[in-house]
Amino acid sequence: MNNDDKILIIEDEAPIRRFLDILTTGHGYQVKTVETAREGLKQIIAWNPHLILLDLGLPDADGLDFTKELRSWTDIPIIVISARDKEADKVLALDAGANDYLTKPFGSGELLARIRVALRSNINMGVIDNCKYQFGDVILDLAMQTVTRSGAIIKLTPKEYKIFTLLAKYMGKVLTHKQILKEVWGGNYSEHSHYVRIHIAQLRHKIERCSAQPKYIITENGVGYRLLSDD
């Protein structure tokens, strides 16, 4: 068999990983296997697979969080393969961005059928074109999860990074305090707009050349903030 489709298996249990490897390679797919989310991310960036088979119980990351992270910059189909069999778990995975959910144990025929469906439905596979944003000499790389200035890493806190990536994804559009709070802190923080102001001030000190006269992170008085590019 000759198949150009590439499948990345992210599974920490060695027997299941070997089974998935043998099954998929035996049906002509190009396959790579890894045990952790960190190794998976490296392979996604370097190898650009057409499909990901993902276990939720990884040793270095929660599979749901990892799925959400991937969905921020790639459309590669994800089939979750998990021992979690409750309906709520399936809903959470699909809401996080998974294309399909298969409960362990499963049949070989069913998995192969779901792989074929996921590959057929994948129209815009791969990393999206705008996974990098540049503001002067500052570059936000969503795939690598880094912010650099002239090649040097700018250290952001997790909240600062989330705010910066959120603003970048909605480039030029105003995001209200409540929108930012909901996306970064959750729905229970809708009245804590001072959280946003504090973190925006910290971001400006790290991103802007002159935080008192920001060029990129712009305040819309009484509403929220927008991020502008050099264009």
Q: At residue 7, does pLDDT exceed 50? A: yes
Is the distance from CB of 39 to CB of 75 less than 8 angstroms? no
Distances (CA, A) of 214 to 25, 75, 79, 167, 226: 53, 33, 43, 14, 11
Residue 124 banded pLDDT, cuts 50, 70, 90? very low
Q: At residue 166, does pLDDT exceed 70? A: yes
Q: ∠ CA 13-38-129 to the nearest 5 degrees? A: 125
What's the mean pLDDT in 23-46?
95
What's the mean pLDDT in 180-194?
81
Task: Domains for the chain: give ranges and CATH numbers.
Answer: 6-121 (3.40.50.2300), 157-227 (1.10.10.10)
What's the mean pLDDT in 124-135?
64
Going 155 to 159 to 160 to 164, the CA torsion angle's sign is positive
Give per-residue pLDDT as tens, 147-158. Answer: 999 999 999 999
Distances (CA, A) of 64 to 17, 109, 166, 167, 222: 19, 26, 19, 22, 35
Percent of the chain exceeding pLDDT 70 equals: 94
Higher pLDDT, 62 or 189: 62
Give per-residue pLDDT as tens, 190-208. Answer: 677 889 999 999 999 999 9
SS3 114: helix
Please list the residues that pair with 7 across neighbouring strands.
31, 51
Going 91 to 143 to 78 to 85, the CA torsion angle's sign is negative
SS3 51: strand
What's the mean pLDDT in 24-44?
96
Is the distance from CB of 158 to CB of 166 less than 8 angstroms? no
Q: At residue 129, does pLDDT exceed 60? A: no
- Lowest-confidence pick of 90-99, 128-137, 159-168: 128-137
Q: Give the per-residue pLDDT at 182.
A: 87
Q: Give the per-residue pLDDT at 85.
A: 87
What's the mean pLDDT in 52-81?
93
The mean pLDDT of the chain is 89
